[in-house]
Amino acid sequence: MLRKPPPRPPPFWDKRPNTSVKLANGIVGTFGRNRFHQAVPFRRFFTFAERTPMPTYRPPRSNGVTTLKDAIDEMLKAYKLRNKFNETYLVTFWEQLMGRGIASRTGKLYVSDKKLYIQITSPPLKQELVMAKSKVIELINREMGETVVEDVIFI
C-alpha cells in the first residue's frame, strides 16, 4: 500500500497578511493569498530599487574632497602623462572609434610624435581612408577632447 506524501508547506508569500506596496513608478498593489494584485500587467519580482527610488540630489562635497576622476586627471597633468594616456587610449579603443569593419582590417597601429601610423591589410580600404584622412583626424581628436593626432600615415 502506497503512502501519501506529507503536504508541502505553503510558499513564503502565503504566510504574509494582506499588505499593500507602492512602487517607485507609482504602481500600487497588494499581496493577497498566493498572488500579487495590481492594476497593471503582472510583475512578480521586485528589486529594492523599484521599492525605494534613489535620491537625485547629491549634497555638496566638503572642502578637500575631490572625485576620483578629478584626482586621476590632476595626477596625469602633474606627471605629464596625459599625452601618453591619450595615445594608449586611442590604440586600445580603435575598434570602438572606427568600427569593427575597419578595425578587423587594421594590422599594426601606434602613435609617435602626434602621428598615427596605421597598417591596413585591405588596399581598397586603405585608398578610402587616404581620401578621408582629414575626417579620420577630426573624428579622433573630437572623441579624445584634445589634439592627439595631427597626421595619419598609412603603412
The CATH number for 149's domain is 3.30.300
In terms of C-beta density within 10 A (0-12 exposed, 13-18 middle, 19 or more buried), how is residue 117 classed?
Answer: middle
pTM check: above 0.85: no
* Residue 36 belongs to some domain of the structure: yes
Q: For residue 27, which amino acid is it?
A: I
From first to last of the 155 residues of the chain, give the pLDDT tens digit. Answer: 678 877 776 665 555 555 555 555 555 555 555 555 554 444 455 444 455 555 566 666 677 788 888 899 999 999 999 999 999 999 999 999 999 999 999 999 999 999 999 999 999 999 999 999 999 999 999 998 899 999 999 98
From the CB of residue 6, how many other CB atoms can be counted at a distance below 10 Å? 6
Contacts of 130 (CB under 8 A, 6+ apart): 154
- Note down the domain range covering 132: 80-154
* Residue 33 belongs to some domain of the structure: yes
Q: Which residues of 51-66 are buried (b: 16+ CB within 10 A; e: fewer)?
A: eeeeeeeeeeeeeeee
Residue 34 to residue 45: CA distance in whole angstroms: 14
If one counts the domains in the chain, the total is 2
* Residue 23 belongs to some domain of the structure: yes
* Residue 1 belongs to some domain of the structure: no
Same domain membership, residue 145 and residue 90: yes
Q: Which residues of 10-21 are buried (b: 16+ CB within 10 A; e: fewer)?
A: eeeeeeeeeeee
